[in-house]
Amino acid sequence: MRTECQVCGKSSRLIAGILSTCVDCIRSRPSEALPFILEAHGRIRGEFDLPPGPPRSAGGVECPICANACRLGEGEIGLCGLRTARGGQLVHLAGTPKGALVSWYDDPLPTNCVADWVCQGSREARTARGRGKVNLAVSYQACSFDCVFCQNWHFRLERPPGRVSAEELAAQAHRRTSCVCYFGGDPSPQMPHALAASHLLAQQGITICWETNGSAHPRLLDRAVELSLRSGGCIKFDLKAFDENLHLALTGVSNRRTLENFQRAARRTAERPDPPLLVAATLLVPGYVGAEEVGRIARFIAELDPDIPYALLGFHPHFFVPDLPRTSVRHAEEAEAAARAAGLTRVRVGNRHLLSRDY
């Protein structure tokens, strides 16, 4: 199926119907592409009873938890769905140490985590001492982004019967628990809860790891990095695009906070080179994220520390982009070559089983 770009008229299999704009127009003609992008994300968020964009009510109360900085008028709901305003005060419906929307399971090590090729937990699991150990995989059921290709979008439909406190979550660890990894959704909207649980888990000698879009408030990010640094864990950033307009198209949100937080975390990588503190990953979305975009991301990473591990992930049609093809082998190989040419020393193509031979 071919889709026509509503800006330039080009028709291609590599244009997502939900966005209805091609990557070239998103980059070079953003003012013309923006109305289609905003309309697309408004439709997606509306499917889940979320506002079409971050509320910006004059005189409203601001939520400081993530980059969206929603300014909420009386009764308005934030973009993550977890916060509102009542009587001129910010009200947390979930995401504090007292309670979060969260689920978890034991994931046998070595796990399928994006960072498993460099993380301490998977490394130890391949030894006699680590045999039988598990990762406490914690999924936060809210997100600060609105990725059109979300692989875990079902969290938006799941609402546990009650809120889980940080103490209750930490109590799920047992003698075989080696590490905890937070993902989702994303931990960013519920970071106060994740940090409280992490302090309790770290006291038990458990390694603290994160998979995040990097949109948390910088002070919260600093605390997450510190916990991972001290416990032997890592923090993995999803760097979905380097071009801000392309990032907005794919996620509904700017990437400024993500890149700033990545730079912030990268300042500390020399404190513990092995296992690496910081890991980056990018989903290779056909038609949108290819060798050119990966090269830009890789140059950004290499300027900070060329030894930061970088994983490139295969895409498969999902959520609101069922019309795009899977990432091809050629696409992945070209992206990998671009990342290495940019100066990165540790680059890996993950989930190769998803790759197709061609478009």
Q: What is the mean pLDDT of residues 225-245?
A: 97
Return the structure tokens found at 322: 């069922």
Q: Which of 172, 202, 233 is the last residue of a domain?
A: 233
DSSP letter at 151 equals: T
Mean pLDDT across the chain: 95
Q: Which residue has the higher pLDDT, 299 or 117?
A: 299
Vertex 287 angle, CA 281 and 289, to 5°: 20
Mark whether 170 and 66 lie in a shared domain: no
Return the structure tokens found at 87: 């009587």
What does the pLDDT read at residue 126?
76
Q: Which of 199, 233, 267 is the last residue of a domain?
A: 233
In a domain, 311, yes or no: no
Mark whether 80 and 122 lie in a shared domain: no
Q: Which of 233, 267, 301 is the last residue of a domain?
A: 233
Mark whether 60 and 160 lie in a shared domain: no
In a domain, 244, yes or no: no
Say if residue 358's pLDDT is above 80: no
Element (H, E) at 333: helix 329-341
Q: How far apart are CA 336 and CA 333, in angstroms?
A: 5
Mark whether 107 and 78 lie in a shared domain: no
Q: Are strands 310-314 and 134-140 parallel, antiparallel or unpaired?
A: unpaired
**pLDDT, tens only, 172-208:** 999 999 999 999 999 999 999 999 999 999 999 999 9
In a domain, 213, yes or no: yes
Say if residue 112's pLDDT is above 80: no
Say if residue 288's pLDDT is above 80: yes
Say if residue 303's pLDDT is above 90: yes
- Give the structural domain span for 62: 54-93
Q: Name the pLDDT band for 124 (thresholds 50, 70, 90).
A: confident
Mark whether 113 and 165 lie in a shared domain: yes
Say if residue 121's pLDDT is above 90: no
How many domains does the chain contain in total?
A: 2
Q: How far apart are CA 64 and CA 311, in angstroms?
A: 30
In a domain, 155, yes or no: yes
Mark whether 112 and 213 lie in a shared domain: yes
In a domain, 220, yes or no: yes
What does the pLDDT read at residue 107?
94
Say if residue 166's pLDDT is above 90: yes
Mark whether 121 and 216 lie in a shared domain: yes
Q: Name the pLDDT band for 161 (thresholds 50, 70, 90).
A: low
In a domain, 61, yes or no: yes
What does the pLDDT read at residue 16?
98
Mark whether 102 and 192 lie in a shared domain: yes
Mark whether 103 and 228 lie in a shared domain: yes
What does the pLDDT read at residue 128?
61
What does the pLDDT read at residue 146?
96
In a domain, 154, yes or no: yes
**pLDDT, tens only, 129-153:** 778 899 999 999 999 999 999 999 9
Mark whether 131 and 65 lie in a shared domain: no
In a domain, 325, yes or no: no
Using CA atoms, how far residue 194 sits from 120, 176, 206, in Å, is 20, 21, 14
Q: Report the CATH number that the domain containing residue 227 is assigned in CATH.
A: 3.20.20.70
Q: Which residue has the higher pLDDT, 113 or 318?
A: 318
CB atoms near residue 50 (< 10 Å)? 20
Mark whether 150 and 216 lie in a shared domain: yes
What does the pLDDT read at residue 280?
98
Mark whether 80 and 110 lie in a shared domain: no
What does the pLDDT read at residue 113?
81
What does the pLDDT read at residue 1?
80
Return the structure tokens found at 15: 């244009």
First vs last Cα of the chain: how many Å apart? Answer: 12
- Closest by Cα among 136, 216, 228, 126 to 182: 136
